[in-house]
Amino acid sequence: MIDIPVGVMIAALVFLIFLSGFFSAAEIGLMTLNRYRLRGQAESGHRGARLALKLLTRPDRLLGVILLGNNFANIAASSVATLLTLELYGEKAIAAAAGLLTFLILVFAEVAPKTLAALNPERVAFPAAFILQPLLWIFYPLVWLINIIANRTLHLFGVSFKKKPIEEITAEELRAIVREADVLIPETHQDMLLAILDLEKITVDDVMVPRGKIEGINLDAELDEILNQVSTSRYTRLPVYHGSLDNVMGMIHVRRVLNLVREGELDKNAFEQALIEPYYIPSGTTLNTQLLNFRQVKRRVGLVVDEYGDIQGLVALDEILEEIVGDFSTQTIGRMEDVLPQKDGSFLVRGTVSLRDLNRKLGWNLPTEESRTLNGLIVEYLENIPEPGTSLMIHGFQVEILRTRGTAIEITRVRPAEGPVPAAGSAPD
């Protein structure tokens, strides 16, 4: 029998259980670290984060040194417990000692430290990295041998092990991160960040001013009429055409016209000289692409054209920015041109209004996959042009056709299934 004082064996047993708990906590702490936060902390110069990130680039080596230390501590604790039991109680108590040691290791070397590390990964992982890195250097030959055998075994099952690449975050994962950051990021900022991510799903066709509502200047009109239109327009850039939008000559900036008026040089020839070459945007271009294109060509307004070159609408930089930060207009919902709430809770809505605008401004959930306007949604649903007085249910909304003009629905009454009702207004003209 080895003559070791009982006190020394008890102290050794306690130390070994603590050592096993350290390796268990280090494993969970390092493996549950937020990789994106860790990368940011490492780039900012945090030493613990830099060491942890370095260790995590080779998880096989990290797990090798952790499990080597953990198993050594557990086996050594079992040996010390056996010697201590033989010294105090003899061979008859070995089974009971084994059961007691299993309980102690399970509670104090596994469950408790791993729970602590899962709840506070950074507080555990960063200090542990300063210990594990030297241990990896010291026991590298043994860890290397263990990894070679383990990796070759995995290779037999078709698992190829290489240096762990930097993880790439998907758009959906980034959305989830933004939504979960409600404590750090205000709700309005969250909405803006999520809107930026959604730009790749939205095309210029969804936000453009449709062709029928484009305000432009006809060069065939009298000069006084043109000047009056320029001075009363609410837009700073207007398309200029001969006869119709099929013959666009260019874009005019209102400021250039006013400068010509101030200098007394305004005439048809000077007006045409002030035109800017029109900028065309292919239909279906996503907003994130168009935002970059606007910056590249140094333009703020473009005309959307289809595959045949026909003009479908007009898109300005403001429309794209409003998708991110919300409406720039200071008008309240009760004074909107195309949507007017009524006292009975319904809304008078023009058929040309954008479904995206309705959903965004009123909090509705009308489907936008197949149609872009309320008129298109109704026609697509009925598969014909409805008569005034026709009522239908679309996605939980009661829609009544009040007035049509030609082949288009002009005014409807929409009653949402539920939701708050803004202040009432009068019907559109």
Domain assignment of residue 365, given as a range: 333-415
Q: What whole-number distance in Å separates Cα of residue 108 and Cα of residue 62?
A: 22
The CATH number of the domain holding residue 375 is 3.30.465.10
| DSSP β-bridge partners for residue 304 | 281, 313
Q: Give residue-wise pLDDT tens across range 44-85.
A: 888 999 999 899 888 888 888 999 999 999 999 888 888 888
What's the token pair of residue 97? 């000692």
pLDDT of res. 185: 80
Query: Mean pLDDT across the stretch 308-322?
Result: 91
Q: Are 275 and 230 in contact (CB under 8 A)?
A: no
pLDDT of res. 61: 87
Residues 353 and 315 in one domain: no
Residues 222 and 150 in one domain: no
Residues 320 and 347 in one domain: no
Could you say which of 305, 325, 345 is where a domain stops? 325
Q: Give residue-wise pLDDT tens across range 104-120.
A: 889 988 899 999 999 99
Decide: pTM greater than 0.85. no
Residues 318 and 366 in one domain: no
Q: Pick the range with the lowest mean pLDDT from 65-69, 158-162, 274-278.
A: 158-162
Residues 374 and 263 in one domain: no
Could you say which of 278, 303, 325 is where a domain stops? 325
Per-residue burial over 249-266, b = 16 or more CB atoms within 10 Å of its CB, e = otherwise: eebbbbebbeebeeeeeb
Residues 269 and 128 in one domain: no
Residues 87 and 63 in one domain: yes
Per-residue burial over 62-71, b = 16 or more CB atoms within 10 Å of its CB, e = otherwise: bbbbbebbbe
Number of domains in the chain: 3
Residue 183 lies in a domain: no
What is the chain's Cα-based Rg? 36
Residue 194 lies in a domain: no
Picking from 109, 96, 102, 112, the residue whose alpha carbon sits closest to that of residue 78 is: 102
Q: Are 204 and 281 in contact (CB under 8 A)?
A: yes
Query: Mean pLDDT across the stretch 354-382?
Result: 85
Q: What whole-number distance in Å separates Cα of residue 367 and Cα of residue 395?
A: 8
